Amino acid sequence: MKTLIKKLIPKKLLNLRHLFFAWLGAFKYHHPSEELMVIGITGTSGKSTTAYLLRQILESAGMLVGSLSTIDFYVAGEEKLNDQKMTMLGKMQIQKYLREMVDKKCDVAIIETTSEGRVQYRHKFINYDMMLLTNLYPEHIDSHGSFENYKKAKLDIFDYVSKLPRKRGMGKGERGMGKYIPKTAIVNGNSEYKDEFLQFDFEKKIIFGTNISKQEVKNDGLYFNVDDKNFHAPLYGEHNISNIVATLAIAREFDIAWDVLQKAVLQLKPIPGRVEFIDEAEEKGFQVIVDYAFEPVAMEKLYQVVDLLKPTGKIIHVFGSTGGGRDKDRRFKLGEMIG
């Protein structure tokens, strides 16, 4: 019955329901985003990974952090697996988590912010301070009708953040006590759409990814150079260099010293379900990798990791795709790649 009612009611009208709950949640929990530094992360791929890595890096600098992502809901050291089958929660849950972060004295909230969440107004009544674009590719077409609609949803997020009222700072340096926090856009400089995301009236506009050099992928992880500083991360996948550099761009806005960042990157832990190696398999003489990749671009990056390992035996790939009739065109592309 519930499914039938949803089919009968126009989508735009259903989305107004989400807008109401977004407002009600902010009202009920006393606008918690006004008491936190809020960092949004959006893009086609790398959102969850970047949020997970950023959390580790900020914690290495002594900050208390909360984060909401596809992977988990995390508040000041307490982690809960995200089993809700959605990234941006509805029915006031985002505001509830933000209030919990405030109550537990978190300095920063990291929110993975999706294009579908934007369409459903789940980003509303959250006062973001920074918004990061990891990248943008022609994906999620079925969900939005066209790539232009998908891109517009991402652009709308940046437009929204640029117009939010500034908050008084709670941290050090430029975000020190009593100082206004500048609204900041952080955009991947290698994206062909970067200028469109930098067009909005942000007080600070930061480009990352163009200052990377000496990139190497070795068996013990990733090696690269940023602004003449050498980094080594114990992670797989060359694409993770871009994710790490995005976190460094944000961390530098908190005046975290380069030597602290170098140590933090060296101690990064792998992301669950993202190029994750299963130890029990290694002990039995073969390798198993679990990866969340369900888009062609992400799948290609996974294959690059497999090629690096130079497997000599049989490669068995078990994969799936989004259910419920969503993004059907993607299934054919994935099948071609795997075949």
Q: How many domains does the chain have?
A: 2
Q: What are phi and psi of 305, to 5 degrees?
A: -65, -45
Residues 108 and 90 in one domain: yes
| Domain co-membership, 246 together with 138 | yes
Report pLDDT digits (tens) over 23-45.
Answer: 999 999 999 999 999 999 999 99
Q: pLDDT (tens digit, 9 = 90+) per residue, 7-17?
A: 566 666 778 88
Same domain? For 169 and 283 the reply is no
Phi, psi angles (nearest 5°) of residue 109:
-115, 130
Among 215, 231, 266, the domain boundary falls at 266
- Both 163 and 208 in one domain: the answer is yes
* pLDDT of res. 185: 99
> What residues contact residue 197 under an 8 Å CB cut-off, 6+ apart?
133, 154, 155, 158, 185, 187, 191
Residue-by-residue DSSP string for 193-245:
THHHHS-S--SEEEEESSSEEEEEEETTEEEEEETTEEEEES---THHHHHHH
- One domain for residues 261 and 295: no
| Backbone phi, psi, residue 41, to 5° | -130, 120
Residue (of 28, 38, 25) closest to 68 by Cα position: 38
Residue 3 in domain: no
Give the helix, strand, coil percentages of the chain, each rounded to 5.
40, 20, 40
CA angle (304 as vertex; 298, 310 as ends), nearest 5: 145
In a domain, 242, yes or no: yes
- Tell me, yes or no, whether 5 lies in a domain: no
pTM of the model: 0.85
Look up the domain containing 286 and give its range: 276-338
Dist CA 271 CA 274 (whole Å): 5
Report the pLDDT value the prediction gives residue 322, as an integer from 0 to 100.
63
Q: Choose among 200, 197, 203: nearest CA to 181.
A: 203
pLDDT, tens digit, for every residue of 136-150? 988 767 778 899 999
